[in-house]
Amino acid sequence: MTLEQAKQVAAYRAVDEFVTNNCIFGVGSGSTVVYAVQRLAERVDVENLKVTCVPTSFQAKQLIHKYNLTLGELDTHPNIDVTIDGADEVDSKMNLIKGGGGCLLQEKIIASCSKKLIVIADYTKDSVTLGDHYKKGIPVEVIPMAYVPIKNKITTLFGGDVKLRNAIAKAGPVVTDNGNFILDWLFPNNSFDWEEVNTIIKLIPGVVETGLFINMCHKAYFGQPEGTVSER
Ligand code: 5RP
């Protein structure tokens, strides 16, 4: 089984278990979520479900349109029943690193408005501690004019290295859906108290949000190499 198939089985399981008729559904971002939206569209079609989809990114919104699903927004649907989203890494305490695709701010806002955040991922994202497998660091969304002082403050406070995320095949930094930059903090070891780290980084002026999702995830599904799905 390929990694893509592992993502698909996890996504299908989550949609089948958590999406119900008349629910308000938060649509996460990334490649695994594409399978969740495909499955949702099948179910809406076959079961005639009524589901309102609130996107976490421009990508998620495009997916909702592509599959002719009903689009909602926080203004009209501030209470979301369940959000299904991907993750870059999940530790044994259900702490997450998110933002590999740069959508962490809206993902965290939507997660914070959801009764349940369900993570879907392939088996490579399942870790004991953050950093076991994922080596790209913790994303931090920042106001562009402040990226250098924020970078310096994070390394002074915690060590490691901080890189401005650059766009692939294009000169210049990645610009998020919210017009901000992304810093990736390559943390020096995995013995941090992540809740404390998250609080401290968020207090630095110019930081908009971090990709650390602490105490937010209700359940995670990991597609396995042999085609099964493990859950936590
Ligand atoms: C985007 C995210 C994604 O959910 C995360 O990067 C996982 O993506 P994928 O499903 O492609 O592995 O946080 O900001």
Model ipTM?
Answer: 0.99
Cα–Cα distance for residue pair 13/167, rounded to 1 Å: 33
Q: In this structure, what are the phi and psi dihedrals at residue 141, rounded to the nearest 5 degrees?
A: -85, 130
Residue 230, beta-bridge partner list: 222
Tokens of 179: 């017009």
* Most informative mutation of 29, 126, 127 for ligand 1 (most atoms within 8 A of CB): 29
| Tally of CB atoms within 10 A around 191 | 8
Instruction: Kindly give the number of the ligand 1 atom that is closest to the alpha carbon of 100.
Output: 6
Contact 103, 177 (CB under 8 A): yes
Pocket of ligand 1 (CB under 6 A): 28-32, 85-88, 98-104, 107
Cα–Cα distance for residue pair 118/26, rounded to 1 Å: 10
Residues 125-178: tens digit of each pLDDT: 999 999 999 999 999 999 999 999 999 999 999 999 999 999 877 679 999 999
Distance 30 CA to ligand 1 centre (A): 4
Whole-prediction pTM? 0.96
Distance 106 CA to ligand 1 centre (A): 13
Distance 151 CA to ligand 1 centre (A): 23
* Most informative mutation of 27, 59, 84, 98 for ligand 1 (most atoms within 8 A of CB): 98
Residues 80-115: tens digit of each pLDDT: 999 999 999 999 999 999 999 999 999 999 999 999
Q: Distances from the Cα of 71 to the Cαs of 19, 44, 50, 56, 83, in angstroms?
A: 15, 13, 11, 12, 14
